[in-house]
Chains A and B, each alone.
Chain A
Amino acid sequence: MTASQPVILGEMPSLSKLYVNAAATAARRRVLGTHTGTELPECSHEVRGVQADVANLTAYQHLIGETASDVLPAGFIHALAFPLAMSVMNRDDFPLPLLGMIHLSNKVVQSAPVRFTEALDIRTRVENLRGHRAGTQLDVVAEVREAGDGAIRWLGVSSYLAKGVFLPGIDKPSAPSVPAAFTAPDPTALWQLGVDTGRAYAAVSGDFNPIHLSVLTAKALGMRRSIAHGMYLASRALADVGAAKGDAFSWDVSFEAPVFLPARVALDISTAQDGDGAWQRSDYAAWSPHSGRKHFSGSVAAL
């Protein structure tokens, strides 16, 4: 990975300031036509001694259907690291416009549980800038350790797409990936998502991206209605997999059609066990019972 020393921030950056700054940067670039280059910044950002707010944790757990245990849900840790990840993408030397980026997929390796009482060191970086048939994509990597240089407990890789942005020197993939035809199975669950689903998740995750908040704010950014946070959907699916997954697991999700709110979302979770009946993995897929379009799919597997 990168050899450079991390930039250590004194505290977790404020997401709202980052969003404002991102909007300003976008405007400046549009006006001045400035361009920062075609390479990702190599330096990583780190905040030390981060601790979860227990009230916020409880609200998060209840919202996504987890029991309010002392262990941080994997999706909650993503939310905890998210402002730091945003701060890297908000650097002046970051080559892509932050606003309007689309979350394509997410992979998490939770190698050991994290409890809310523990202080955490969180480090984020960006890497793997590459082409996409619709633009340019990259990975945001976040590592969460026990404070004081412990082993990585939680590793997250989020892939984002800057739609319609094509950087010189980065090729489009030769063969655009054709999504496999999807046939909806019988659902094992049915979610009723109210129009305030985005606001509710914003309140517990801190991610006040306007596209999630209301019809008006979403329309301002070119969406026809507000959409559900991808990580909300994925975290609910993870919660629905249940306690069988234990404390150490890998979790991935690929997002396809966005979920416009309000919505009914059908979900299928199929679980595989080994010969002794122990849980091995659960694959999940979610779709619209109305149109049959797939919203997202993914899996949770034992490490």
Chain B
Amino acid sequence: MDKYTQLVSRGLGKDIAKKLGLPQPVVLRRHEPGQPLVQGPVLIQGSTAGADELASTLLAWNLDIRRHAVPKEKLGAIILVLDELAHPDDLEKPVLAAAASLRDLAPNARVITVSRTAASASTPEIAAARQGVDGLLRSLAKELRAGATGNGILLADGADTTSPSTLGALRFFLSGRSAYVDGQLLAVTSGAGQLPDDPEKPLAGKVAVVTGAARGIGAAIARTLYRDGAALVLVDVPAAGDHLAAVANEVRGTALQLDISRADAGQRIIDHAVERHGRLDLVIHNAGITRDKLLANMDAGRWNSVTAVNIAAQLRINEVLLASEHFRSAPRIVSVASTSGIAGNRGQTNYAASKGGVMGMVRATAPLIGAHGGSINAVAPGFIETEMTARMPFVTREAARRLNSLQQGGQPEDVAEAIAFLASDAAGGISGEVLRVCGQQLVGA
């Protein structure tokens, strides 16, 4: 948590910030093992069969479920089920019913819409209604305060309100794991996936490779996957070996000093994982570099090194992975993209091109890995508090930090949580998607 957020979160600082109309970021609720999934009752709005089925499923999770609002009761979450929209007119009733409860949301509450993907709509009316949810949700998320977030689940053909990955995504969005995910719509692309036996150890028995694991977001991913039960192979360049060893010893993993842009990197990763851990289930492509320069001043060295590490290496490693006998049991790949690759960023043409490339790769790889029963997704972080962003000039950093719905930067752990979710079997029905972890960045897409 940054110092400003600490200052305005309590006491005198809080009063002053309020009077001056300064941004008032709150301390976000983040996941701690053993913590309840959501703090307070969950109101499920919507009268479809899907809503009813969902309500009964969530009851089985021992959640405090409301099908009708109780006046003045503080709510932990509102789930707005909109899975049978036929016309934009159908939005009014459930949406306004939910609206009446918005003032009763507790701090760090959740609003989650469950609707269907517009692309699969059979008529213009249905498509309009479904696409309308998109605009509705993004706007609503910007109105929420006090750490509350709004996110949507989009059901593609073949998925319904109680599909494993619908429930998996719902769990993720309800929980503190999604603290910095706001204003996002995540598509459940199939009915595949499986909920974990132990929700605290969703990655138990899995062997995961994390590249760029020596520090920052990579180290946070390693810690989160370890917490979730995975055995870890941590990869980073030999020059970062000392930090890598420290992280490996912390998460009881093995360190593999390897430059992922080497031609044999994919095979060495597979060999190491299989030889030391007997299998390979998850690959997290986190390693990435920046070599910022305005395009007018760009040179081949800067351009090529970014391309080589950020996207070419991933393409080459994935090709080896997809061809390997050892990557066949519910294999999952999660790549780290960037909001720069979506919205663009001045001085980062090379970086944004590589990260845009990651998203393209993910989309196109989804059917390939799907053939082996696996999935591939990307996470696009926004402003994350790391050693790298700590070196940004103060004004730039403050602007980047505050210009999002949560008025603060994210933590490496927030990115790691999203990755851990997408790497889990609960997200097996989600593939080819990009999930942003950006606190709903206000500029750009």
A–B in direct contact per CB < 8 Å: no
| Residue ranges of B at the interface with A (Cβ–Cβ < 8 Å) | none
